[in-house]
Amino acid sequence: MVRDQARIAAVAIVSIVLLYGCAEKDRSVFQPDLTPPQVNSISFNEGVVSWHTDEPATCVLHYGERPGIYDHYGYNVSDGGTDHFVRLVDADSGTYYFRILARDISGNMTTTDEVDFLIDEPQTGNLLVYTVVDVGWGDCNFLEFPNGTNVMIDAGYGSLGEFEHASDLFEFLNARGISPPDGIAYMIATHNHGDHYGGFLDLIPLYSETVFMAPAEPYSSVWASVGAKLDEFNVPRDSLAEGDTNLNKSVLAWDNEDGVTVEVLSAGAGKYYLTGTDDDRLNSDSIVLKVTFGEVDILLTGDAEDFVEQRMIKSYGALLDSDILKVGHHGNSDATSEEFLRIVTPRIGLISNSLAENDGVFDQSVLNLLRAYDVDYYTTDRAYPNAGRYDQVLHGNISVTTDGESYVVHVWN
């Protein structure tokens, strides 16, 4: 009995010590962060907006030429610290109105009041402009490089499909001053689906001084679909394979003088997708390109599905990291896996789609995933908006302009 009482007393003393220790322990690290970042020290000088946050945050600058109307969105590749800036590349002179949205690592978000500033001189320089052209249910990507080289990657259905979109191509090219016959130096069909190669059948007769490229050794050859038109207008052709770059393939040397690098990360992989359907295998043929200008990386994925994403993750890993992602397969749930997003870590996602023409072309789960990974996504057609980021849900053409340090998104609508 005495031994038991001694044991009970000892346990009681230990318990008191433990409880006292717990009481004294600093538990502040377990408190959730509910305080949004504070934005201060906003300044503007020679086309650059600078500001400071009181804690590390990612930021986006919303701005436009009318109060409360923000059709431009500015980013900086070094965002994520406490000192931020965005260069308003390719901005005309005039008065602009802007606000800054800042988000910390815990997801807390704050938006500043509207501020206005004046640009006296147009902001120019060596710029790369990447546009997702609104061609309905299809893909069309247009790259304008600092040295004047223009590249079109896919061209939508054009006049080939049920819905007419050839006029959209020509309206865009006219708006950008891209004149025939040599205004498009290179054309690339990522794979043999009509919503990607169809528009080229309309363009080749006019823009015939070009080089046409497609995947090497694919499951299904693009040449069967566009070869006759290329022969009719004597357009040279070439094939792209995984591992091709601007250093070992002359047709990819789009702008070596400005330090642009181009890498083929996948091409013609459909032949390896033994368990996929015919459509899956055609999509998996897609040419995937990474284009880098300065510190800004653009990843163009065609309709590459999860099968291709997993292959690229195994082959390239963190080298897939990119600022701007052309979201795979129009935002369909068979692409843009969570593991892929985690590796790519994009800041911007661009989606080409048309709910009017195919209401199943993109999946809400993909939009939810983009939100979860803090990706600002933009869609050519209607989609659910990014809460707190912008109000429009119909964007039309979407252009990203970059000087290699900052990049600005402009939604044409």
> What pLDDT score was predicted for residue 28?
53
Q: What proportion of the chain, given as a percentage, has pLDDT over 90?
A: 71
Q: What is the pTM of this model?
A: 0.89
Q: DSSP class of residue 307?
A: H
To which CATH superfamily is domain 39-119 assigned?
Immunoglobulins (2.60.40.10)
Number of other residues whose CB lies within 10 A of the CB of residue 176: 17
Q: What is the DSSP track for 314-342?
A: HHHGGGG--SEEE-GGGG-TTSS-HHHHH
**For residue 364, what pLDDT band results from cuts at 50, 70 and 90?**
confident
pLDDT value at 13 more than 80: no
> What pLDDT score was predicted for residue 14?
42
> What pLDDT score was predicted for residue 6?
46
Locate the domains of the chain by residue range.
39-119, 128-381
325's CB contacts (< 8 A; 6+ apart) are 299, 301, 344, 346, 348, 349, 350, 375
Question: Residue 22: left (phi > 0), alpha (psi -120 to 50), or beta?
Answer: alpha
pLDDT value at 30 more than 80: no
Whole-angstrom Cα distance, residue 118 to residue 112?
18
CATH of 128-381, one of 3.40.50.300, 3.60.15.10, 3.40.50.1820, 3.40.50.11540: 3.60.15.10
If you average pLDDT over every residue of the chain, what do you get? Answer: 89
